[in-house]
Amino acid sequence: MTISNLLPFGVVSVQQEEGFSGTLSPEEEKALGSAVLKRRMEFTAGRTCARSALERLGTPVSSLLRGPAREPLWPSGVVGSITHCEGYCAAAVAYQERFAGIGIDAEVNEPLPEGTLALVARPEELERLGRLPAGSLCWDRLLFSIKESVYKTWYPLTKSWLGFEEASVTIDSDRQTFQVDLLISNYPEIFSHLRGRYLVEGRHILTAIVLAGGASSGNLQEPVFRG
């Protein structure tokens, strides 16, 4: 299974595992600046995946630069998301006329560092995590990954901050899905029914959110997922 298993038809994804590879354009090199080797390898692999996904979508670019909040600047008419962690990176893209937004995240399936969960989880989320079945999946890390995917979906459409405490997550372990309720006022209606999917692939947790409909089409039909 891959990140594509979490994404509906019409979303193109490319991933790399373990030995990262790829190249950067001169413009991307300049945007990266001086970075430690690990950061450089992850950034390069992420940009390589993104450019490959864009080419498969039919919108090839020579460079994928960053905005003021370090967000990828996708070509006009395209939405997308990039993720990378130790041993895994991926990019997912789609036409904006079909999907309003995408957020994907990958994390190593291990407990969060001590003290981090208290910064990420709301009281009701801690209670929900305690009711989930024990096993090999680190639920605290999954919660963190979900909130990362939420933010990656949120920011490109709103250009505003969304804190961990401003989203409340409910995980359905039977269906490997989740629901997110935003706890702020006056947010775009498209975030009213925020849902996503997750899976564990090898030693990694993968999460994804895809907003149905397009920013201009008004089509709010549910995405059709792969099997």
C-beta separation of 92 from 84 below 8 A: no
Phi, psi of 130 (to 5 degrees): -65, -20
Q: Which residues are annotated as a binding site?
A: 39, 47, 83-84, 105-107, 148, 152, 162
Which residues belong to the annotated binding site for CoA? 39, 47, 83-84, 105, 148, 152, 162
Q: What angle do CA 96, 156, 40 make, to 5 degrees?
A: 105
What crossing angle do the helices spanning 123-131 and 139-158 adopt, rounded to 10°? Answer: 140
CB 143 within 8 A of CB 126: no
Strand partners, 13: 92
Q: Tell me the binding residues for Mg(2+).
A: 105-107
Give the length of the chain.
227
Helix and strand element counts for the chain (H, E): 5, 8
